Structure 1
């Protein structure tokens, strides 16, 4: 009976040590299944506010929704889906960097409902386990550049 309690106690200590250990940023990126980004930038049609989410489908690929609100002479509301390839392993990057490229396709709900598509390249720099700075530039139906923050869930 004493051996049983000793095994349980040692197992609990090992589990607690793993549960409360501080992971590297790379381990957190691997463990993170969702990243949410939001910010603003320059848009060919006016002043944008954007938000998107990345859902990891494997270590190198993410997919997710994106929403853009663009303020100019006309108000644009763009809903789209996005897919990104992350180059971290290929480029052997430092743990707190995330470089990616991808494509978007969606619908622009302005005066006339129109199809919207584009490609983009971007990167994130994480200053801790949860928060990072996001920068992106892209083109297609509209030219855009963006800067914002990313939260890792």
Structure 2
């Protein structure tokens, strides 16, 4: 019986050390990069803060600019977005090594579009709700690459960028 408890204890210890959260509780990471869009190349910068072993809360600022001369009509679009997100990280549940990070979550954000008068309105703004699923690979203890896919609002398409643990 002692061997069984010892074996189970060692397996539990190994799984805890092997599948630790990629972002320890109370730590923050910086994310920045580019998005995917039909209108311009979005750029984003954001922070994620670990509030528990498997949950992070974060915020993001996005910008998208687009210029086009379609049918002799000079078209300029600018869009700003500010959003907050909550993500669940699957590392502990799926026993994923901590140099990988797989997550899914929800976001809510406010966006403002500025476009030429007479073309889809002059200024549009709104509140958007969305969802995302993503992953990161950390090259070392500080820097990683991130990829995220999402939907549901104006700024939750695909993104690729870098993550730096602060």
* TM value normalised by structure 2: 0.72
User: Which aligned segments of 4 or more residues in structure 1 are displaced greater than 2 angstroms?
Assistant: 24-32, 43-46
> Cα RMSD between the aligned structures?
2.2
Q: Could you list the per-position Cα deviations for residues 24-73 of structure 1 after superposition, in whole angstroms to 9, with x for gaps in the alignment?
A: 99476326610110000202543100111111110111111111101224
Q: Give 1:19's aligned residue.
A: none
Structure 2 counterparts to residues 46-57 of structure 1, below 5 A: 46-57=40-51
- Whether the 8 Å CA contact 1:25–1:129 is kept in 2: the answer is no
The structure with more helix, counted as a fraction of residues: 1
* SS, match of residue 24 in structure 2: helix
Q: Could you list the per-position Cα deviations for residues 70-118 of structure 1 after superposition, in whole angstroms to 9, with x for gaps in the alignment?
A: 1224100000111111000011102200000111111102222211221
* TM value normalised by structure 1: 0.77
Count of residue pairs the alignment pairs up: 131
Q: Give 1:107's aligned residue.
A: 110
Q: Within the alignment, does 1:41 sit opposite 2:35 as a pair?
A: yes
Q: Give 1:152's aligned residue.
A: 165
- Whether the 8 Å CA contact 1:54–1:63 is kept in 2: the answer is yes
Gaps of 5+ in 2: 1-17, 67-75, 114-122
- Indicate which of 86, 89, 93 corresponds to 2:92: 89
> 2-side partners of 1:27 and 1:91: how far apart?
11
